[in-house]
Amino acid sequence: MRVAAVQMVSGQTLANNLITAARLIAEAASGGAQLVVLPENFALFGQGNLAPLAQLESAGDGQLLPFLAEQASLHRIWLGGGTIPLALGVDGRAAEANKAFASCCLFGPKGELVGRYDKIHLFDAGVNDAVGAYRESAQFTPGTLPCCVVTPWARLGLSVCYDLRFPEYFRQLSALGAQVLLVPSAFVYTTGKAHWEVLLRARAIENQCYVIAANQGGQHSDNRHTWGQSMIINPWGEIIAQQAEGEGVVVADLNFAEQLALRNKMPVLTHRRF
């Protein structure tokens, strides 16, 4: 299976972001990618209240869900749609007042929605950068359910960005049979420099999974800077493709026979005691 992670430097203009996303998806598809993953907040980055947009999307009147469906169908690919704001949770709950769910939607090659994950762990933290403190819970309602999707090649486990710091979530995906972990992200520069690679490689190693991590990567405004370094990692924890900063696409081939051989030779998932 050939896969691609798309790296963007999204801004606050929806139309411009969608044009860029379409161009990079086309580049990935032309390179033979059968699965393409967009970064978190690919359509809007640094926007204020997302609730009105989320209401439009959930009512079927928005641009983002149709855009993702169209791109998947146009290129006949599986498309991990980064995150988009939705007003209704996958579990049927409405988002809290003036908030949205940060939803990662997976589309199949006919443009059909085949899986959805609402981000569970929200980034409320102080960071030594120009912003100083982040509070995602002011904009988003947390999800409650893990998501693992069956494809013709492998089972895909969906996650988003800050989830990386919670290994128990990835254990749940592993228990659901995940072989590939999708991690659309918008890691800030400071925390990304310190922890991005080590967290991704750890999640790959401990779950013996491939990891596709599509990050935002560049200067979005005077005070918003993301780390980039989108990468694809194999179950041994080796980085097999990587993009530094700026827009770009990284492509790699996943070998599930090699993954199975590793899991049989070193069956750590069957050795768990807790």
DSSP string, 80-129: E---EEESB-TTSPBPPTT-BEEEEEEE-TTS-EEEEEE--S--EEE-SS
What residue has token string 């693992």?
148
What residue has token string 């997302």?
50
Structure tokens at 92: 């049927």
User: How would you classify the pairing of strands 2-7 and 248-253?
Assistant: antiparallel
Angle, vertex CA 129, rays to CA 125 and CA 132, nearest 5 = 45
Q: Which residues of 169-192 are buried (b: 16+ CB within 10 A; e: fewer)?
A: bbbbbbeeebbbbbbbbbbbbebb
Which residues are part of the catalytic machinery?
A: 40, 119, 161
160, HSE (Cβ side, Cα atoms, 13 Å): 31
> Do the beta carbons of residue 85 and residue 52 sit within 8 Å?
no
CA 255, distance to chain mean position in Å, is 21
